[in-house]
């Protein structure tokens, strides 16, 4: 985790997470009455899961993966179909769909890990394109381009004798945000363990890592599987949020959006992709008032970040911090 955000010598982990929980609880209250901005907050929570899961594959293991929208789609469609056609309960469907997305990630990795660089990128992108075509043309199962409508929110939960209904946007935001936070904490613990060191070794020099006895293929499959599972988990909540499900929500172009979030925030760090997901979800909404010109501003902003901040926003913040403290000293 970034030393800028969490330095174990200064701020205990529990303080950082406690502050995060307080922010999550406060956000819907601060924008009270705005259903639009509440939906943006839910989108941010989903995008955070997608960005950190892609970061595991690309930022920590160094695998150029451009088919992440496919795993997102597997989670979304599997959850919806298991509930509507197989009669699964919501939570069983979510667990099953996340596992299924992870299995798909492992299967893809068996073939993709034999490839490197742009060959891997093309192969993973082809996976997302093929999956989109399956969702688009398998009418009897997915309803094709017409989509699936009338998808209900998650069922109510009874907490301390109070029935919590997720048809309420605030409650749904809390649910998805806390799932994202728990995912972040678990993934962070994994990456701070020797597993994280192993993945970083593969990213830096796969040949050297193999010479040290690291089974590089096994660990790349591991990162694909876990990354796909988290993306599938995010996808499981997507249909219950929007209420509809169409194949075009999982176009391969969406994978580039998640890639931009990870890169702009700061690859190879835990907090970087979170920052990227927040910024790149909010920026188009904040620029919406200027019409189509927002696309130009958005594109220029991304270009400037890539050109002048190769380490992402996180690197820029760390540089400012070091200069600020150096000046003070």
The CA distance from 324 to 313, in Å, is 16
What percentage of the chain has pLDDT greater than the value 90? 56
Asked if the model's pLDDT at residue 6 lies above 60, the reply is no
User: Residue 228's closest CA among 12, 74, 116?
Assistant: 74
pLDDT of the residue at 2: 44
Structure tokens at 27: 């956000």
The band of 310, judged by pLDDT with boundaries at 50, 70 and 90, is confident
The CA distance from 237 to 240, in Å, is 6
Per the model's pLDDT, the better-predicted residue between 39 and 9 turns out to be 39
The band of 10, judged by pLDDT with boundaries at 50, 70 and 90, is low
- Residues 18-75 have pLDDT tens digits of 999 999 999 888 887 678 889 999 999 999 999 999 999 999 999 988 999 999 999 9
User: Average pLDDT of 258-274?
Assistant: 90
User: Residue 51's closest CA among 249, 203, 274, 224?
Assistant: 274
Asked if the model's pLDDT at residue 1 lies above 60, the reply is no
- Residues 90-138 have pLDDT tens digits of 999 999 999 999 999 999 998 877 777 788 889 899 999 999 999 999 9
- Contact call for residues 288 and 294 (beta carbons, < 8 A): yes
Asked if the model's pLDDT at residue 9 lies above 70, the reply is no
Over the range 101-139, which residues count as b (16 or more CB within 10 Å of their CB) and which as e? bbebbbebbeebbeeeeeebbebbbebbeebbeebeeee
Distances from the Cα of 235 to the Cαs of 31, 135, 170, 255, 281, in angstroms?
Answer: 25, 14, 19, 13, 17
pLDDT of the residue at 128: 93
Domain ranges of the chain: 13-328
- Residues 131-180 have pLDDT tens digits of 999 999 998 899 999 999 989 999 998 887 788 999 899 999 999 999 99
Identify the three-state secondary structure at position 245. Answer: strand
pLDDT of the residue at 250: 93
The band of 7, judged by pLDDT with boundaries at 50, 70 and 90, is very low
User: Average pLDDT of 216-226?
Assistant: 94
Per the model's pLDDT, the better-predicted residue between 259 and 294 turns out to be 259
Fold assignment, 13-328: ABC transporter involved in vitamin B12 uptake, BtuC (1.10.3470)
Distances from the Cα of 20 to the Cαs of 5, 269, 318, in angstroms?
Answer: 11, 18, 20
- Contact call for residues 202 and 220 (beta carbons, < 8 A): yes
Q: pLDDT averaged over the chain?
A: 87
pLDDT of the residue at 91: 95
Per the model's pLDDT, the better-predicted residue between 19 and 298 turns out to be 19
- Contact call for residues 272 and 232 (beta carbons, < 8 A): no
pLDDT of the residue at 291: 67
The band of 242, judged by pLDDT with boundaries at 50, 70 and 90, is very high
Partners of 127 in the β-ladder: none
Nearest-10 crossing angle of helices 216-242, 169-191: 170
- Contact call for residues 69 and 104 (beta carbons, < 8 A): no
Nearby residues of 189 by Cβ (< 8 Å), 6 or more positions away: none
Please report which residue ranges of the chain form alpha helices under DSSP H: 13-30, 35-55, 68-84, 90-112, 117-137, 139-142, 169-191, 194-204, 206-211, 216-242, 252-265, 271-286, 293-308, 312-328
DSSP state of 86: S
Q: What is the 3-state secondary structure (H, E, C) of 198-239?
A: HHHHHHHCHHHHHHCCCCHHHHHHHHHHHHHHHHHHHHHHHH
Report phi then psi at 155, rounded to 5.
-65, 155
- Residues 20-34 have pLDDT tens digits of 999 999 988 888 767
The band of 247, judged by pLDDT with boundaries at 50, 70 and 90, is very high
pLDDT of the residue at 302: 74
- Contact call for residues 278 and 180 (beta carbons, < 8 A): no
The band of 80, judged by pLDDT with boundaries at 50, 70 and 90, is very high
């Amino acid at each position: 985790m970034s030393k800028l955000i969490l330095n174990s010598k200064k701020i205990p982990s529990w303080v950082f997470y406690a502050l995060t929980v307080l922010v999550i609880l406060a956000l819907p209250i601060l924008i009270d009455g705005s259903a639009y901005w509440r939906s943006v907050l839910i989108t941010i929570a989903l995008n955070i899961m997608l960005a950190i899961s892609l970061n595991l594959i690309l930022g920590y293991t160094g695998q150029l993966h451009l088919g992440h929208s496919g795993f997102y789609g597997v989670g979304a469609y599997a959850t919806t179909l298991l509930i509507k056609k197989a009669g699964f309960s919501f939570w069983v469907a979510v667990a099953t769909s996340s596992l299924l997305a992870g299995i798909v990630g492992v299967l893809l990795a068996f073939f993709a890990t034999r490839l490197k660089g742009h060959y891997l990128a093309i192969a993973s992108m082809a996976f997302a394109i093929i999956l989109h075509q399956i969702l688009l043309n398998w009418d009897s199962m997915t309803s094709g381009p017409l989509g699936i409508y009338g998808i209900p929110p998650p069922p109510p939960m009874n907490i301390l004798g109070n029935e919590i209904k997720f048809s309420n946007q605030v409650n749904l935001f809390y649910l998805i945000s806390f799932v994202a936070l728990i995912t972040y904490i678990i993934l962070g613990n994994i990456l701070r363990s020797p597993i994280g060191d192993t993945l970083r070794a593969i990213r830096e020099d796969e040949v050297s890592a193999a010479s040290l006895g690291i089974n590089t293929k096994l660990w790349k499959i591991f990162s694909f599987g876990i990354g796909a599972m988290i993306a599938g988990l995010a996808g499981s909540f997507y249909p219950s949020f929007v209420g509809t499900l169409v194949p075009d929500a999982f176009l391969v172009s969406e994978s580039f959006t998640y890639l931009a979030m990870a890169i702009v925030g700061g690859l190879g760090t835990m907090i970087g992709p979170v920052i990227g997901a927040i910024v790149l979800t909010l920026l188009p909404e904040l620029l919406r008032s200027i019409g189509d010109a927002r696309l130009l501003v958005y594109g220029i902003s991304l270009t400037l970040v890539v050109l002048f901040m190769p380490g992402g926003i996180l690197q820029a913040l760390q540089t400012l911090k070091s200069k600020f403290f150096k000046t003070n000293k």
